[in-house]
Structure 1
Amino acid sequence: MLSIITNKKIWVLYSYIIKLILKLYGIDVGKRFYIEGTPQIKIKGKASNISLGNNISIFGSIDLRNRENGKIIIEDNVKLDNNVRLVAARDGMIKIGQDSSIGPHTIINGGGNVIIGKKVIFSKNISINANEHNFKKSNNISDQGFVYKDIVIKDDVFLGANVSINKGVVLGEGSVIGANAVVTKDTEPYSINVGIPSKKISERL
């Protein structure tokens, strides 16, 4: 039984069926779509605002959510590991660039734009938030709404395990962010950054 479940031909057939279902929803799906899990789609906006490019590979479950005018764009040759959640809201766009790899248990919360460049690598348990609760003392936090700022992750960036990226941050091209770091400020191109909050400790040679 296990050999049947893990047979690549079975997953290819399954992927074709899932692709047809996604297209029936109104989602744009490119050529050579491949998935080894269950997609969860929660659309409170326009299904046509979700676009999956060519040669997308998903190795596990994926959770795609959009509301208002939120957009999710995954470009060609992107790989996504198990249990990735993408939430695009308001007029925000989540865009993952070509040849990037997104590790397991990644959560990207939009509201603002989250623009990820080409050949970017995420390790596991990455948290990216282009929004944040207001937390003035005068009112309950739950009643105050959110602040939104864009996040840009440029080409050739590497994020180690358990990294958190806060709203309004730009990660310069080629940046490396060490495991468990919390990034609250922009990083320089080809810099190596670690800690809470993250600080530059070196540069790529």
Structure 2
Amino acid sequence: MKITNGDELLNLENNEFIGEVPKLTNSQININGKNNTLVCEENVVLWNSRIDFNGDNSVLYLSSNNFDYALNISINGNNACFIGKNNYFNGMSSIILSESQNVIIGEDCIFSYNISIRVADAHLIYHTKTKERLNYSKSIFIGDHVWLGQGSMILKGTHIGSGSIIGANSVLSNKHVPSNTTFAGSPARLTKEDTFWLGYSVHPWSELTTIKYSQYDSENFVYEIDDNTLDFEDIDSDINKFAKPDEIVKYFESTFLEAGKNRFSLK
């Protein structure tokens, strides 16, 4: 089923739509399976986007956003993808979910141009002697207020804590990125600790504005581990226990939407 008008989501067969009808601007949603659930909060606009449900029993949760979503998402069966509020897409980002793995993205992130997020290598790699598979797919977690630089690739098993910065053209696979750190390179490595970032663009700044922001005395974007911090591995395990998509939706709502600032902190 090809959907190019949001109102068509109200007449799905063998699949479910929950929430507010999104606005589709030069965008389409293709559903080629059954028992899938799409959740859209209010203020969801898909711009030049494509969402493909290529299998069964998957959940895509799109939170309310002050900005347009610019996404190509491929969901291939038994996957869960949660995208939090008010993420800024400065160009098209690609997300591919495979082999029953999941993608969780927090809120207030910046996705620069040509971001790629993939939980799988797609093809199989084996050890020549043991004949055992080496490259199992793994879920990806990106916390709140994360800046992904242009051309960065976030690959299987990567966990990025809130407040972090990923440099342009970085490649991260099975990486553990603590909160308030900067990683860059291919493969990416730690380049700075104890960093945070602001979303202002410096392009039009005068010398006076530069001087004004030479220091920013705030703890708003400094993240710590506290009693409300969630464990990424536990989240993944919890999601995979659920047999029905509506159970996953309820889990997202009860777990993520009620958690505090440090929900996705990582050390």
CA distance in 1, matches of 2:195, 2:124: 37
Corresponding residue for 1:67?
Answer: 55
How is 1:39-188 mapped onto 2 (pairs within 5 angstroms)? 39-47=28-36, 49-77=37-65, 79-82=67-70, 84-111=71-98, 112-132=101-121, 133-136=123-126, 147-184=136-173, 185-188=175-178
CA distance in 2, matches of 1:29, 1:102: 23
Larger radius of gyration: 2
The Cα RMSD (Å) is 2.4
Identity %: 24
Change (3 A) 1:198 1:87: same
- The residue type paired with residue 171 of structure 1 is I
Corresponding residue for 2:7?
Answer: 20
SS at match of 2:150: coil
Q: Is 1:190 aligned to residue 180 of structure 2?
A: yes
Q: TM-score, normalised by structure 1?
A: 0.78
SS at match of 1:135: coil
- The residue type paired with residue 118 of structure 1 is E
Change (3 A) 1:45 1:102: farther
CA distance in 2, matches of 1:167, 1:127: 11
- The residue type paired with residue 188 of structure 1 is P
Q: TM-score, normalised by structure 2?
A: 0.61
SS at match of 2:136: strand
Shift of 1:131: 1.5
- The residue type paired with residue 174 of structure 1 is G
Of Structure 1 and Structure 2, which has the larger fraction of its residues in strand?
Answer: 1
Shift of 1:120: 1.6
- The 8 Å contact of residues 78 and 97 in structure 1, kept in 2 or not, is answered as no
CA distance in 2, matches of 1:102, 1:44: 28
Q: Which runs of 5+ in 2 are unaligned?
A: 197-267
Range 69-78 or range 124-133, more displaced: 69-78
